[in-house]
Amino acid sequence: MKTALVAGLIVLASIAAITIAAVTTVVNDDQQRAQARATTLPCNAALGPITSGPAGSGADDAANLEEPQRAVVAQIIQIGKERQLPPRAWQVAIQAGMTESGLRPLNYGDRDSLGIFQMRPSMGWGSPAEVIDPTYAINKFYDVLVEVPNWEQQRPGESAQDVERSAFPDRYHQWEPMAAHLIGNVGLVADPTGCGQGTGALVPPSKQAGDAINFALSQQGKPYQWGALTTHQNSFDCSSLMLQAYRDAGITLPRVSRQQYRAGAMLPVEQAQPGDLLFWAYDENDPATIHHVAMYLGDGKIVEAQQDGVPVHIRPVEWGEAELVAQAVRPGV
């Protein structure tokens, strides 16, 4: 029996090797494609698995692009590949370009803003002729992006804002699903959201959940600070603790608790597993009133950054306690 099993495994391994060799032969003449397909992105929990949730809506927006817009997308991706920048950089540029110009090299804009990214010659971005030229503008955008601290660990829209310095910083998030779809469809990235295939609403606790728990627990005793920066671990508010814990596990969460409520699979709070997020709202039936988030540890306990004067700590939780929302959330699922 054991001999047969070993023989079977050898056969399967041989088949797998032949298959891999065949695939390698097919794509061997396109190293960029192979490199792009092999790229692993951190999971963007705001989009979730590529087979479900908001990520699917990106295909609809992408289908509405006209050929000149798709040509700009292709150029953004091509230059990103030539510069050996990761797909997250392409996504940032696509979201910025769609927001600023609809992915068009415009010869007009607010004040002296021009081109795909509405760069202003008066602010040192280049001459008018340069910033209108897509090749120059894309390279200039990437030049600035790679100098942004921690740009790969942020949501793409946040990194776009760091480059563009817009008076309306949240607007770049609108094109997140579409940009993820495009880096997958045009850039040939197999898992554009980084969250893999959908596995249904309920899954066992994952390694990522364990890593997030370990990070959160290691912050115990640190002070609460409302609006705490997410670039250091000196202090936390409730949602920054969750964001950094899951970021450490390779999953990108939105910044605030109301957005984090939409960043994963929902399940009845009584069925929460370690690593799931619990939420509190002024009106438990209205997610718009969510004001607090914590991480469930199992055994009726949570870890949280609760309020001023109370450091990061563990406490018991009761399913029937005031303001607890009836749904828990499993990030990235």
pLDDT tens digits for range 69-104: 999 999 999 999 999 999 999 999 999 999 999 999
In a domain, 293, yes or no: yes
Burial class of residue 161 (count of CB atoms within 10 Å of its CB; 0-12, 13-18, 19+): buried
268, 327 Cβ separation under 8 angstroms: yes
Model pLDDT for residues 130-159, shown as the tens digit of each residue = 999 999 999 999 999 999 998 988 889 999
With CA atoms as reference, report the closest residue to 193 among 68, 333, 2, 18: 333
In a domain, 124, yes or no: yes
Of the ranges 56-60, 206-210, 240-244, the best mean pLDDT one: 240-244
Quick one: average pLDDT of 230-255? 95
What's the confidence (pLDDT) of residue 28?
40
What's the confidence (pLDDT) of residue 51?
58
Q: Which residues contact 324 (CB under 8 A, 6 or more apart)?
A: 269, 278, 279, 280, 284, 317, 318
In a domain, 212, yes or no: yes
**Are 163 and 228 contained in the same domain?**
no
In a domain, 26, yes or no: no
**Are 179 and 226 contained in the same domain?**
no
In a domain, 8, yes or no: no
What's the confidence (pLDDT) of residue 307?
94
**Are 91 and 219 contained in the same domain?**
no
| CATH code for the domain in which residue 300 is found | 3.90.1720.10
Mean pLDDT of all residues belonging to the chain: 85
With a cut of 90, say whether residue 285 has pLDDT above it.
Answer: yes
The domain total for the chain is 2
- Residue 49: CB atoms within 10 A of its CB come to 21
pLDDT band of 3, cuts 50, 70, 90:
very low
With CA atoms as reference, report the closest residue to 293 among 283, 306, 307, 278: 278
What's the confidence (pLDDT) of residue 45?
84
Global pTM reads 0.65
**Are 133 and 51 contained in the same domain?**
yes
Dist. CA 279–CA 295, nearest whole Å: 9
* Percent with pLDDT over 70 in the chain: 83
| CATH code for the domain in which residue 91 is found | 1.10.530
**Are 256 and 318 contained in the same domain?**
yes
121: containing domain: 39-185
**Are 54 and 167 contained in the same domain?**
yes
